[in-house]
């Protein structure tokens, strides 16, 4: 089930009205949450960023959701693991800059535990402790294009359940987008959020998830199945769902069904990330010329003069291609796998992307 409502701004009354309508169309919050439940609200807090940058879930959506949830009498916790470390120091900064400091429901236990999934694509995950405390998860994501996975919305947001730097390990382990997508699907099935709420008031197009352009979409949406939610959001964002690797695989596995409902009245075409255009052209190139083509056309990260040598990019690089030398980051291109984690995480915008040898 999927529901979408217009929401022109982050004014709380407008957010509450849109959210209420979405939940009502799905059967009401009481259909999903009981008084005895502990509910984990999992926002998208990719990095410390002002909510106006449209990188992270806007706090007004969380405030609106808290008001609805409190009607049920359930216990509520809020937690996410951003791109950096899962520690008090890192996450205090994230919660403060993202406008979350005032939420007393934030659970500041930064431990993690192993989740074993003997029959899954991945046998073991290190997940944030709040995953184990919760009876239900409400996934509150942001609608953005993504340079690696094409789309980041409900399904990709669940990657933040993996604690801290274990995410870096997963990036290095799954270098192809298809393998990464299979891992994401596996994780989404484990998390099994009972509700997926999309902050689509402002989204992001182009070089998302952190360095694209803000795109006004003017909606809040909600769905009961994270894959189906993303399928409808791809329609709304003008993205062919077959071009989103994890949606293509999820559809083949029968995890959601296509629908004729087109949500045309909400549709706004999003500009695709550079990587998506490159992969389209890649298929037209003879196989013996593909590596040359890759070297020239796939943008590589480079360090700008304003780098302050904080080391966040080096910590997040899955293949240890970055070292800090004399107070500046330096990239070893022979190791770089073009995952763009460094570009995503640098809050000083000191990692640029360029084409060419």
| Sole binder of ligand SF4 in the list 348, 352, 354, 356 (CB under 6 A) | 348
Of 66, 186, 310, 352, the one binding ligand SF4 by CB under 6 A: 310
275-304: contacts with ligand SF4 (CB under 6 A)? 301, 303
The footprint of ligand SF4 on residues 155-184 (CB under 6 A) is none
Tell which residue, 70, 344, 72, 61, has the closest CA to residue 353. 344
Residue among 257 and 304 whose Cβ is closer to ligand SF4: 304
Q: Does residue 351 bind ligand SF4 (CB under 6 A)?
A: yes
Using rule CB under 6 A, residue 350 touches ligand SF4:
yes
Per-residue b or e along 235-248, where b marks 16 or more CB atoms closer than 10 Å to that residue's CB: bbbebebeebbbbb
Q: What is the closest distance, in whole angstroms, from the C-beta atom of residue 345 to ligand SF4 in the complex? A: 6
Piece of the chain touching ligand SF4 by CB under 6 A; list 104-112, 127-135, 150-158, 341-349: 341-349
Residues 245-264 interacting with ligand SF4 (rule: CB under 6 A)? none
- Shorter beta-carbon distance to ligand SF4: residue 17 or 328: 328
Among 206, 309, 330, 352, binds ligand SF4 (CB under 6 A): 309
CB of 42 or CB of 299, closer to ligand SF4: 299
Show Cβ contacts of residue 56 under 8 Å, excluding neighbours closer than 6 positions: 43, 44, 45, 46, 47, 49, 98, 142
Identify which range of 36-44, 105-113, 249-257, 306-314 contacts ligand SF4 by CB under 6 A.
Answer: 306-314
Question: What letter does residue 264 receive in the DSSP assignment?
Answer: G
Among 240, 308, 323, 355, binds ligand SF4 (CB under 6 A): 308
Cα–Cα distance, 169 to 131 (Å, whole number): 20
Beta strands in 231-350 (DSSP E): 300-303, 322-325, 328-331
Residue 84 binds ligand SF4, judged by CB under 6 A = no
Would you say 308 and 321 are in contact if contact means Cβ atoms under 8 Å apart?
Answer: no
Tokens 């004014």 appear where? 11
Asked if 12 interacts with ligand SF4 (CB under 6 A), we say no
- Residue 330 interacts with ligand SF4 (CB under 6 A): yes or no: no
Burial class of residue 165, CB neighbours in 10 A (0-12, 13-18, 19+): middle
Instruction: List Cβ neighbours of 87 (8 Å cut-off, separation of 6 or more).
Output: 110, 164
Decide whether 261 or 335 has the Cβ nearer to ligand SF4. Answer: 335
Q: What is the largest CA-CA distance in the chain?
A: 62
66 binds ligand SF4 (CB under 6 A): no
Q: What is the DSSP secondary structure assignment for residue 273, as one 8-state letter?
A: P
Residue 342 contacts ligand SF4 per CB under 6 A: yes
**Which residues, including other chains, have CB under 8 Å from residue 160's CB and lie 6 or more apart?**
42, 44, 45, 46, 80, 81, 82, 167
Which residue among 151, 161, 185, 346 contacts ligand SF4 (CB under 6 A)? 346
**Which residues are at the interface with ligand SF4 (CB under 6 A)?**
301, 303, 307-313, 317, 319, 321-322, 329, 331, 336-342, 346, 348, 350-351
């Amino acid at each position: 089930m999927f529901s979408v409502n217009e929401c022109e701004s982050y004014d709380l009354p407008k957010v509450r009205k849109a959210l209420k309508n979405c939940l009502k169309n799905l059967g009401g919050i009481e259909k999903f949450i009981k008084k005895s439940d502990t509910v984990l609200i999992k926002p998208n807090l990719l990095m410390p960023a002002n909510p106006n940058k449209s990188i992270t879930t806007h706090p007004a959506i969380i405030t609106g959701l808290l008001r609805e949830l409190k009607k049920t009498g359930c216990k509520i916790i809020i937690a996410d693991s951003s791109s950096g470390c899962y520690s008090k120091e890192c996450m205090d900064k994230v919660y403060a800059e993202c406008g979350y400091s005032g939420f007393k429901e934030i659970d500041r236990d930064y431990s993690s535990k192993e989740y074993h999934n003997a029959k899954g694509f991945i046998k073991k995950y290190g997940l944030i402790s709040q995953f184990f405390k919760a009876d239900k998860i409400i996934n509150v994501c942001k609608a953005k294009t993504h340079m690696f996975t094409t789309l980041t919305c409900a399904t990709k947001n669940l990657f933040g359940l993996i604690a801290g730097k274990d995410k870096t390990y997963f990036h290095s382990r799954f270098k192809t987008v298809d393998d990464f997508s299979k891992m994401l699907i596996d994780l989404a099935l484990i998390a099994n959020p009972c509700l997926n709420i999309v902050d689509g008031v402002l989204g992001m197009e182009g070089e998302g998830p952190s360095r694209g352009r803000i795109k006004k979409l003017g909606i809040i949406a909600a769905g009961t199945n994270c894959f189906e939610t993303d399928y409808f959001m791809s329609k709304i964002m003008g993205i062919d769902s077959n071009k989103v690797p994890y949606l293509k695989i999820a559809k083949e596995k029968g995890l959601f069904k296509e629908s004729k409902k087109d949500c045309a009245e909400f549709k706004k075409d999003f500009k695709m990330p550079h990587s998506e255009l490159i992969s389209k052209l890649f298929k037209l190139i003879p196989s013996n010329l593909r590596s040359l083509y890759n070297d020239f056309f796939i943008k590589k990260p480079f360090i700008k003069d304003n780098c302050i040598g904080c080391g966040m990019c080096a910590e997040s690089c899955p293949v240890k291609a970055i070292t800090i030398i004399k107070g500046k980051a330096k990239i070893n291109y022979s190791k770089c796998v073009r995952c763009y984690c460094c570009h995503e995480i640098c809050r000083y915008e000191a990692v640029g992307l360029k084409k060419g040898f």
